[in-house]
Amino acid sequence: MATRGYFTWNFLLGMALVLDSVWIVSSRRARYSVNKGFRINADLHQVAFFSAPKMTSIKCAAFCCLNSECGHFHFSNVNNSCYIFKEEVWFTPSRDLTADPNWTTGTLLNGLIRRGSWFLVFRGQGRIGVSVKETWYDSSQQDDKPWRDDFPQACLRITDYSQCDRHFRSHILDSWTNIGEVHFTLVKDDVEVAYILFDGTGSNMSSWINKNRIISSTWSPALDNDPDIHEPRISGHCGHDSCRQFRFYGSYGFCYTDFLYTLTIDKVQDVCNEYGQWKPQDLNTFPVFYYSNGPGRGSLGLDQESLGYYEAEEADVMAVWVKFL
């Protein structure tokens, strides 16, 4: 056993304790939300077990901290047993903990960005020259596991983000389980200007983008009932002359009759812009997030007004949040 490491962590963890029923324990490697008087009742994968007469909840937290797989632990003071469980991002304390005075529970916070019960899984910044679709699927990029202290705060915000130079990608994308709802939002000038809320039950990291899963949106009911929309997809059409992703889009053929609810241009070129059939767009940088600024179809095309389409505007940021079941 790594005795030195064990006591070092114990000391660091002990220093940060606040004696209350709920503690936040901090160390350089991990942050836990600790609940005294609760045990875990979810079906979690146990990765280690320790029992010793002098075991305490603080030592149990230290063992969790030393185990790279640990995301949750609980400790019984009746038989001095410490159980270490694998991290599950869907773990929800209000549902998965049961009051029991003989137990103490800890859950790794791991830098997850949350807003109430919503967790940020992806945040794309416009015009930084990096593909959002490729970043979405790049499992080697996990900005929150371990949490990188140098990750720019501007790239986690939906206001005051002018200094942001990269996309944020959570490790939640790589363990897309127990997802209840998915919230896709677009932000312009520090304001959320458009959204689509999806039922994510039983989905994977690609299939949640689906017309049949829409619960509500900025464009409902027009979007939900639009018969001409192509199958909404993260990976839309990406070829040598155009690259259109995260698409809610319709009618290929004539650029000027094409319409969109939201569409991401993921490369420095689009054939409709090249042929001068769109109102001229600056596509010298990408990604560019477009959205319809009215309650129905929007368009970049020259015939936008005669077709009764709304203006397509550019958002600065796109973000995807999830709520667990």
What residues line the site for ligand NAG (CB under 6 A)? Answer: 51, 76, 78-79, 81, 100, 102, 204, 206-207
Nearer to ligand NAG, 106 or 126 (CB): 106
Nearer to ligand NAG, 162 or 212 (CB): 212
To ligand NAG, the closest distance from the beta carbon of 85 in angstroms equals: 14
Q: In whole angstroms, what is the distance from residue 138 CA to residue 83 CA?
A: 33
To ligand NAG, the closest distance from the beta carbon of 320 in angstroms equals: 16
Nearer to ligand NAG, 76 or 217 (CB): 76
User: Do the beta carbons of residue 233 and residue 224 sit within 8 Å?
Assistant: no
255: tokens are 């650029």
Nearer to ligand NAG, 43 or 282 (CB): 43
Q: Which of 155, 158, 124, 154 is nearest to 138 (CA)?
A: 124
To ligand NAG, the closest distance from the beta carbon of 230 in angstroms equals: 16
- How many Cβ atoms are within 10 Å of 49's Cβ, its own excluded? 10
To ligand NAG, the closest distance from the beta carbon of 130 in angstroms equals: 22
User: Do the beta carbons of residue 150 and residue 295 sit within 8 Å?
Assistant: no
Nearer to ligand NAG, 139 or 163 (CB): 139
Query: How does strand 298-299 pair with strand 310-315?
Result: parallel
Nearer to ligand NAG, 34 or 205 (CB): 205
Q: Which of 292, 290, 284 is nearest to 308 (CA)?
A: 292
Crossing angle of helices 57-66 and 3-15, rounded to 10°: 120
264: tokens are 């991401």
Q: Which of 195, 199, 230 is nearest to 212 (CA)?
A: 199
Query: How does strand 179-188 pair with strand 317-324?
Result: antiparallel
Nearer to ligand NAG, 126 or 200 (CB): 200
To ligand NAG, the closest distance from the beta carbon of 202 in angstroms equals: 8
Q: In whole angstroms, what is the distance from residue 280 CA to residue 312 CA?
A: 12
Q: In whole angstroms, what is the distance from residue 125 CA to residue 278 CA?
A: 23
To ligand NAG, the closest distance from the beta carbon of 281 in angstroms equals: 32
To ligand NAG, the closest distance from the beta carbon of 79 in angstroms equals: 4
28: tokens are 């350089």
